Amino acid sequence: MLTRSIGEISMTVLTSNTIEIRSGDDVVRVRQEVRSRAVESGFSLVDQTKIVTAASEIARNTLDYGEGGTLLIERLEEVGRRGVRLTFEDQGPGISDIERALTDGYTSGGGLGLGLGGAKRLANEFHIQSQPGKGTRVTIIRWK
């Protein structure tokens, strides 16, 4: 267990584990592991579905557009609430225009263009960092 203070807020990481994302089977494993962490955190079925759906979308993007990467799953506790933080990282080509990538309907591939924007709407907190040629990091948190 790791406790970190941010200003007056104290956040504790209860558990963490890392998953490699290299194949479609790994995307399935991401879904399973995220659901397990959400259940352990006491999430309702609706909140479990929201974080699993967001994780699936970003894991698929990590594989398809980021050429594979990793997911760090952390169960969190903060004063009065519990949550799950997911940090996806890849060393792929990066995203040149993040705002455009978050726009519904935009796709750099053959998808519907709902993944990043949809994942953002399903999370309570969403942060994305990317630089062309250096990869992408997407962090989402869902709180109970």
CATH numbers and ranges of domains, the chain: 16-143 (3.30.565.10)
Nearby residues of 91 by Cβ (< 8 Å), 6 or more positions away = 66, 67, 69, 134, 135
Query: pLDDT tens digits, residue range 88-127?
Result: 999 999 988 788 877 766 565 555 445 788 899 999 999 9
Whole-model pTM: value is: 0.86
Query: pLDDT tens digits, residue range 3-48?
Result: 554 555 678 988 899 999 999 999 999 999 999 999 999 999 999 9
User: How many Å apart are CA 109 and CA 106, to the nearest integer?
Assistant: 9
